[in-house]
Structure 1
Amino acid sequence: METRKIQLTGGSTFTVSLPKRWAKEHGLESGARMHLYPHSDGSLLVRPDPTNNGDREITLTVDHRSETDIVQTVRAGYVSGFDKIALVATGGIDDTQRRAVTRTVDGLIGLEVVSETKRRIVLQSLLNTRDVSIRQTVIQLQRVTLSMHENAVTAAIDEDSELVTRVRNRDDEADRLFGMVSRHYQQSLSDLQAIDQLDIDRSSIADYYTTAQQLERVADHAEKMAVIAECLDASATETIQNFDSIARSARGIVTDASSVLLAGADVEMAYRALDDRDALLTELDRSDKQLYHSDSSDQHPVGLLLDSVRRTSEYGGNIAEAMIQRAVRTGTLSE
């Protein structure tokens, strides 16, 4: 670490000299343009003027990769923030691999196939970072997730196959929204220009990412409940008479906790969400015992439904804890 004294130049401008060795290592000379990134914590990041403002590109070899491997590879490239992803295979990309690429691209917002040859497929992100609102994306994810959860519970109670299909289809939408939040969060860790374009600070985008991650997990459990609903016998959920009420309480925990970030609610909502979570977990323990002592033939699937509700309340609690940490970090915690 080096230290410098602030100098007053021209009677109105503060200046700080740069370490000569560092400047030489980066090819800086008098007149070079520098970029300054002030942060709310009092730090100031200084970087030379970027010489390459083009797309971030990566080439990935996919020889002999399975469909599952292809899906994970494309998603990793997208979430990592690359604007252009080239998939190459010296022995050629077969039809199965191409279908896997197409299926994955369809599930990612803004990603398109721009060129194909026998040995190469090039994907391009058409997202304009300046047009992206992380806040609105997470709000939309919250709405999708809670709607999925409510419909999954109704499907289990009413044996509604149409709702089951609707929930399963919307899980792809939830995945797409979370994928976009993940992409911009990853970009923010390495690309300072991305943060400027998103008009958000790093701490806030981390909070949005944490919230989105928990919401995506709730969506996964909503889909799981919908799948279970397909194989339940008539009135199976009557084994747990208050199942609908329990599930509604779990959604309320998620809503209250995320409202601190998404609706500007007071942090007291986060504390209330944690109290509600603890109360609900106690009630779920009683329901588990009730189910264990029942003679229902659907003990196992109903038990899985209860577990998904439990997980939902816990994910809401995770959001609440993150919001309290945010309030402490930003100094907005009420005395």
Structure 2
Amino acid sequence: MELRKVQITGKSTFIVSLPKEWAKRAGIRQGSTIAMFPQSDGSLLINPKDNPQSNKNKILNIKNLCGETLKREIIGAYLAGYNIIELIANPISSDQKIIIRDICQKLIGPEIIEETANKVILQDLINPNKLSIDRGLIRILLISESMYEDAIKALKTNNIDLAKDVSARDDEVDRLYLLLSKQFNSILQTSKLPEKNELSMVDAFNYRLVAGNLERIADHAKKIADISMSLNGKKIPDNILENIQQVSLQVINMVKDAVRSLTRSDIEMANKVLEENNIISNTLLRLDQSLLELSADIAVSLGIIVDSIGRIGGYSANMAEVAINSFLMKP
């Protein structure tokens, strides 16, 4: 750390000198223009204007890569903030190209701009700051919440179409979560918060943690919907369905309150979610025991659903703990 004294020229202009070694490394000369970014935590970030982070390129040799390994490589480059990803092999197989096209559909931004036998170039065509981290979090909450509610409704009404729709919506949550993760990685790499952003660096970190829990909640909503379809109209006692619906209503309210407790800095609401999770755990234990009276195949399927509901409650508690920690870190 270097300290500089502030000087005043004229009546209102503040002047501070730049560290000489840093200026040399950054290529700053007399007449150079630098960019200044006031941060929400009161700090000021200074970057050479001619040194943008917007044109990062990555070359990936995908020879012998396939399936999930290839997907992870592409997603990893995307999350690292590379705007242009060049995939090369000699040649790129048809199966690899199918995976590349599929992953582009599951990410927000990347499009194929060039394709040959030995090369595929992806370019990120979206400005990730168009969707702020806080807005992205609320969007993920709304989709996850609706998925969970509709999954339980599909189970109770044996609505196969609704269950299929829930399963399809999981991809949208994944897309938003990866975009939000990319934004957070960009903040870490540049130490710069987006302009017109009211979040601090710590807020961005906590929002990223909560988004991860919401993404897992969406995964469990999808699991419930998939099991609902696999039951294929098998008769489930009305009292069991009613009990599942009642506890599900309590859990989804916990999810909403956990996120609200973070965005509103409401520590009382967060503690209430933690208390409710303990109560829900006992309710789910009794519900799970009641399934023993059913046929084995139905009992196993519903047992998985009850487990997913419990895990969603656990994720709500995780988010409430993040909210409490966030509140206590503020002055």
Alignment TM-score, normalising by the size of structure 1: 0.87
The one-letter code matched in structure 1 to 2:211 is A
5+ unaligned residues in a row in structure 1: which ranges? none
* CA RMSD of superposed structures (Å): 2.6
Matched, 1:144 2:136: no
Q: Which moved more, 1:11-20 or 1:156-165?
A: 11-20
- Partner of 1:153 in structure 2? 152
Q: In the aligned structure 1, how far is the partner of 2:93 from the partner of 2:77?
A: 20
Distance change (3 Å), C-alpha of 1:6 and 1:221: same
- Partner of 1:102 in structure 2? 101
1:218/1:315 contact within 8 Å kept: yes
- Partner of 2:254 in structure 1? 253
Residue 300 of structure 1 deviates from its aligned partner by 2.2
- Partner of 2:328 in structure 1? 328
Residue 40 of structure 1 deviates from its aligned partner by 4.0
Distance change (3 Å), C-alpha of 1:222 and 1:268: same
Deviation digits for residues 284-316 of structure 1 (CA, Å, limit 9, x no counterpart): 23333444x535413322221111001111111
Residue 183 of structure 2 aligns to a residue whose secondary structure is: helix
Residue 17 of structure 2 aligns to a residue whose secondary structure is: coil
Alignment TM-score, normalising by the size of structure 2: 0.88
Residue 115 of structure 1 deviates from its aligned partner by 0.9
- Partner of 1:272 in structure 2? 272
Q: In the aligned structure 1, how far is the partner of 2:288 from the partner of 2:100?
A: 43
Aligned residue runs from structure 1 range 1-335, under 5 A: 1-52=1-52, 54-89=54-89, 91-191=90-190, 195-196=194-195, 200-232=199-231, 233-235=234-236, 238-239=239-240, 242-261=243-262, 264=264, 266-291=266-291, 294=293, 296-297=295-296, 298-331=298-331
Residue 18 of structure 1 aligns to a residue whose secondary structure is: coil
Distance change (3 Å), C-alpha of 1:147 and 1:130: closer
Deviation digits for residues 73-123 of structure 1 (CA, Å, limit 9, x no counterpart): 22222222221111111x211111111111111111222111100111111
Aligned pairs, number: 328
Distance change (3 Å), C-alpha of 1:199 and 1:94: farther
Residue 11 of structure 1 deviates from its aligned partner by 4.6
Q: In the aligned structure 2, how far is the partner of 1:198 from the partner of 1:110?
A: 21
Residue 87 of structure 1 aligns to a residue whose secondary structure is: strand
Residue 242 of structure 1 aligns to a residue whose secondary structure is: helix
